[in-house]
Amino acid sequence: MRESRGRRCLSMALQWAPALLSIWALLATAGLGMLPTAHADSSPTLTILVPAPAASQAEGPVDTNVTIQAQGLSPNDTFQLGYAQAGNGGSCNDGFTEFPGFIVPAQSDGTFLTTIPWPVNINSVGTIYYICAQDTTTLGTTIQSAQTYLVDSAQPPTIAVTPVLGPGNGTPTAAAASPAPTPAGFVPSGQVNIAGQTFSPSGRTLLAVLLKNKAKAPTDFATPVATVLTLTDQATTTFASGDQGNFTVTVLLPARVAPGRYFLYVITSDGTSSAPPSLAAFQQISIVRPLPTPTPTTSPPTATPQSHGGNTGSSERPLGGKRVAAILGLGGLSVLLFVLGVIFLASAAALPRQER
């Protein structure tokens, strides 16, 4: 009896086995589908971050710091950066030209972030370009930026820095006597005139900063490494570029800055801790101790003649040289006459008297 029951159970198990195996396979497949899996993005992207694009187009002069970010790349692959002219069907696939020396590796997460100073020799004003990244590890893969870059000036941004001579800023004589500043005349609390060119396009928000050393990283432009200078005619640190990116401003040096050599920069305000300002120009200056202000000498007061006897209608005049000479002459003549008189009297007394 027991043996027949066992046979029937075994027979039923064998009949249901294929169905149970199918159900288990479906559950296993569904379960695996819910597990997180690492996979590469099938659509790599390249984005211009700085300068910030407007309507998918960034712009600036040559030597602009163009910061780009790539995502969805093959992890750890190496990429050659380049450019391609946009328009007329141009693209990175058929018009790629490399930026010499700009090779960047992708990180393990398939991304990279880097900055390219736009080459001064790619200076065709009004020309629009794509930025490209060509995979040199997995050949045949070229990525094109979603935005374009417009070259709006063939000249890089520049500044000219001069001291403002005036109260508290020294004089030409004092500046010439200072210990060999280059250029002369920069002193603590002194005013500095800055004339800039080609900070294009117009309307860029700018800052003047003072650095002890030349900037080498984006963080060098942040406080406390950098000192942001204040404009003298208003309580603000920012100003805007004008027509064609030109400007002229006057800023104030710190009161407690130590004498020495410094780098005075003008930068755009779009820099971050990982991306330098898109535009930057500097001039090296020397700050010296101001010469002590000379104390003016005062002449002794001149005595004012006083009136006598209530006679307010006239005043005594100081004696001139001729009057003094005349008085001395009269005094000498009086003495001479007195001496002669004494001699005559003495002679007369010595004569014998006649008897009567």
Q: Tell me: do 97 and 57 sit in the same domain.
A: yes
Q: Which domain holds residue 179?
A: 158-287
Whether cis (ω within 30° of 0) applies to the bond prior to 183 is: yes
Is 298 among the domain residues? no
Is 327 among the domain residues? no
Instruction: Give per-residue pLDDT as tens, 181-211.
Output: 445 579 999 999 999 999 999 999 999 999 9
Q: Tell me: do 140 and 183 sit in the same domain.
A: no
Q: Tell me: do 162 and 279 sit in the same domain.
A: yes
How far apart are alpha carbons 219 and 37 in whole angstroms? 37
- Chosen domain end from 243, 272, 287: 287
Q: Tell me: do 187 and 113 sit in the same domain.
A: no
Q: What is the mean pLDDT of residues 296-320?
A: 56
Is 241 among the domain residues? yes
State the pLDDT at residue 235. 83
Q: What is the mean pLDDT of residues 168-177?
A: 44
When comparing pLDDT for 211 and 180, which is higher? 211
- Give Cα 14 to chain centroid, integer Å: 84
How many separate domains does the chain show?
2
Is 334 among the domain residues? no
Q: What is the mean pLDDT of residues 53-77?
A: 97
When comparing pLDDT for 310 and 244, which is higher? 244
The CATH number covering residue 167 comes to 2.60.40
Q: Tell me: do 204 and 129 sit in the same domain.
A: no
- Chosen domain end from 132, 153, 174: 153
Q: Tell me: do 132 and 145 sit in the same domain.
A: yes
The CATH number covering residue 117 comes to 2.60.40.1930
How far apart are alpha carbons 26 and 113 in whole angstroms? 43
Q: Tell me: do 135 and 187 sit in the same domain.
A: no
- Chosen domain end from 123, 153, 183: 153
Q: Tell me: do 75 and 166 sit in the same domain.
A: no
Q: Tell me: do 110 and 193 sit in the same domain.
A: no
Is 318 among the domain residues? no
Radius of gyration of the chain (CA): 47
Is 258 among the domain residues? yes
State the pLDDT at residue 39. 38
Place of tokens 């006083």: 306
How far apart are alpha carbons 257 and 250 in whole angstroms? 18
Is 216 among the domain residues? yes
